[in-house]
Homo-oligomer: A and B are copies of this chain.
Amino acid sequence: MIDVAVVGYGNVGRCAVQAVQAAPDLHLAGVVLHREGQIPPELEGCQVEPQIDRLSHRPQVVLLCVPSRSAPGLAQVYLAQGFCTVDSFDIHPQIWETRCQLDGVAKAHGVAAVLSAGWDPGTDSVVRTLMEVCAPRGITYTDFGPGMSMGHTVAAKKTPGVADALSLTVPMGTGLHRRVVYVQLAPGYSHQEVSRAILADPYFAGDETRVVAVEDVRQLLDMGHGVHMTRKGVSGITHNQNLAFSMSINNPALTAQVMVGAARAALQLAPGCYTLPEVPMTSLLPGTLKEKISRLV
């Protein structure tokens, strides 16, 4: 059994606990909540500590279920203590740089880090790579949604006059997206002025954006999300090779499940930091290689 700790207990952390408990080969060493507070009732039988060294079973792998901005720093702290780490860091432009930083720390402490092990970045990245292997010349489009964008929702919530908000990502095809921002207006603000403020936010400038006023944003919340990826390209000199991948999924549940797979991989990898397309897919599943190859290849 692999001993795993879950750090953080938001949507992804909750699903990570469930996925660890559902896995045949993993044992939940405990949950680390850096901020002390009331322990959720479903964690009753589980050790919850503010610091990892208080857990009675020392975990081999730590799942960092924390906001992306905190993940790289926290990964370095845990790697330096000799734990393997897995995160779902999703700030795409910073992935390479973060990988280099974590790679150094991981190697110095003889452990492995799996970086950006969610679905995008994560399993989608593997599919994008695989599609390019199949048809090296061509264009891949990644169309997200419909589903909630965490980043855009946070940006919308910060707009003056917004009591609550939800930003939905709607796929328009060929990698273009519409943002539909559902806002609950604060008293004294009009839909028009709030809408103008959101449209002026650089966060929304690149995409077509609609702002819709609603009575209660909470009634719209749904963790469902999806992606549709397509590539049309050339294999050798043969054109019109068409590939597609799509998912309709519960977002935090999938993210957590991929992280659980990456926990297995982390223990099999040489010290260093890896993104998912650098990791053999078989290493993310339990079972013997014979069984996996016989069943899946």
Residues of A at under 8 Å CB distance from B? 15-16, 18-19, 22-23, 92, 95-96, 99, 116, 119, 121, 123, 125-130, 132-137, 234-238, 240-250, 253-254, 256-258, 260-261, 275-282, 284-285, 289-290, 292-294, 296-297
Contact = CB atoms under 8 A, between A and B. Distances in A.
Given A19-B235, A119-B134, A134-B257, A293 B281 contact: no
Contacts of A96: 290, 293-294, 297
Complex A-B, nearest 10 residue pairs according to Cβ-Cβ distance, in ascending order: A238-B253, A19-B236, A235-B257, A18-B236, A129-B281, A125-B297, A235-B253, A133-B261, A277-B281, A133-B284
Contacts of A289: 278
B132 A285 contact: yes
Copies in the complex: 2
5 contacts: A133-B258, A134-B249, A136-B257, A235-B250, A276-B297
A136 B263 CA distance: 14
A282 B237 contact: no
A253 B280 contact: no
A174 B255 CA distance: 26
Contact of A22 (B237, B281, B282): B237
A296 to B, nearest CB: 5
A15 B282 CA distance: 29
Contacts of A236: 15-16, 18-19, 22, 253, 256-257, 260
A249 B253 contact: no
Contacts of A278: 280-282, 289, 293
In this complex, which of A126, A234, A260 has the most chain B Cβ atoms within 10 angstroms of its Cβ? Answer: A126
A95 B173 CA distance: 39
Nearest to A294: B96
Nearest to A224: B240
Contacts of A240: 250
Contacts of A244: 244-247
A243 B249 contact: yes
Nearest to A237: B18
A290 B242 CA distance: 27
Contacts of A234: 22
Given A133-B123, A279-B280, A250 B243 contact: no
A242 B250 contact: no
